[in-house]
Amino acid sequence: MAEPGFTSSNGYTAPPAFAALRVKAIQSLLVDKGIVLQESMDEIADIYENQVGPHLGAGVIARAWTDPEFKARLLQDGTATLHEIDLSGFEGSHVVFVENTPTVHNVVTCTLCSCYPWVILGLPPSWFKAAPYRARIAYEPRKVLEEFGTSIPDDVEVRVWDSNAEIRYVVIPQRPSGTEGWDVDRLAQLVVRDSMLGTRVLAPIEGVSA
């Protein structure tokens, strides 16, 4: 069967998914009734598609790795600390950072829907919003993490954080070994999105000079 919106082999175009049609209908009504401006919606879409993204979170994590005092504040009050560096706004009203250590691995979900720290990670990946991830990560996290290629040793505790409309969690991954002496910009290049959600562990750096 063809994907919605794509032409199938018999020459017919499959209709868009129900959710996409519903969004279009609501959007049209809001614009027609003058409740929102089309330009405003385009601007918001542009911000989250092109300006806000995991590179913002990566910068925060790299700074936390190199500045213990900043990391302490981030863990104590993530929202206020992000505010200090002008990271605040939609879907970022209350952000809580949790730190991976040699004995604790954290992973983030939203079991109810898809609450996500848009303010520093941008738009959520489709797997984060998918029902199988949301349902299974809560009761068999190690198995789900294995499916992401992330194997957590038995002696490391796995903690699953359930985001909601008020609180969004972000993982501070462990700094990879072999990065001693690296500056913030260089470290930030290593921090991929999934490491800030806990579904990926950053590999040690080998054979690269400082």
Altogether, the residues listed in the chain come to a count of 210
Nearest approach, Cβ of residue 18 and Fe ion (Å): 20
The residues, any chain, with a CB within 8 Å of residue 202's CB and separated by 6 or more, are 173, 174, 175, 176, 190, 191, 192, 195
> For residues 21 and 112, which CB has a smaller minimum distance to Fe ion in the complex?
112
Examine the residue annotation and report whether 113 is marked as an active-site residue of this protein: yes
- Tokens 């560096």 correspond to 85
**Integer Cα distance of 141 and 45 in angstroms:** 32
Examine the residue annotation and report whether 195 is marked as an active-site residue of this protein: no
> For residues 5 and 132, which CB has a smaller minimum distance to Fe ion in the complex?
132
Is residue 135 a contact point for Fe ion (CB under 5 A)? no
Q: How many helices (H) and strands (E) does the chain have?
A: 10, 4
Nearest approach, Cβ of residue 167 and Fe ion (Å): 10
**Integer Cα distance of 47 and 136 in angstroms:** 32
Structure-block tokens of residue 154: 């038995």
Nearest approach, Cβ of residue 27 and Fe ion (Å): 21
Output the CA angle 42-128-156, nearest 5 degrees. 140
Stretch of residues binding Fe ion (CB under 5 A), selected from 20-28, 85-93, 115-123, 177-185: 115-123
Residues in binding contact with Fe ion, number by CB under 5 A: 5
Stretch of residues binding Fe ion (CB under 5 A), selected from 54-62, 112-120, 127-135, 173-181: 112-120
Is residue 14 a contact point for Fe ion (CB under 5 A)? no
Stretch of residues binding Fe ion (CB under 5 A), selected from 3-11, 91-99, 104-112, 145-153: 104-112
Give phi and psi for 87, each to the nearest 5. -110, 100
Q: Which of 115, 171, 191, 197 binds Fe ion (CB under 5 A)?
A: 115
Nearest approach, Cβ of residue 115 and Fe ion (Å): 3
Nearest approach, Cβ of residue 168 and Fe ion (Å): 9
> For residues 118 and 182, which CB has a smaller minimum distance to Fe ion in the complex?
118
**Integer Cα distance of 28 and 103 in angstroms:** 51
Structure-block tokens of residue 187: 């470290």
Q: Which of 28, 40, 93, 113 is catalytic?
A: 113
Output the CA angle 164-57-75, nearest 5 degrees. 65
Is residue 110 a contact point for Fe ion (CB under 5 A)? yes
- Tokens 């959520």 correspond to 124
DSSP conformation class of 47:
I
Examine the residue annotation and report whether 126 is marked as an active-site residue of this protein: no
Is residue 113 a contact point for Fe ion (CB under 5 A)? yes
Residues tagged active-site: 110, 113-115
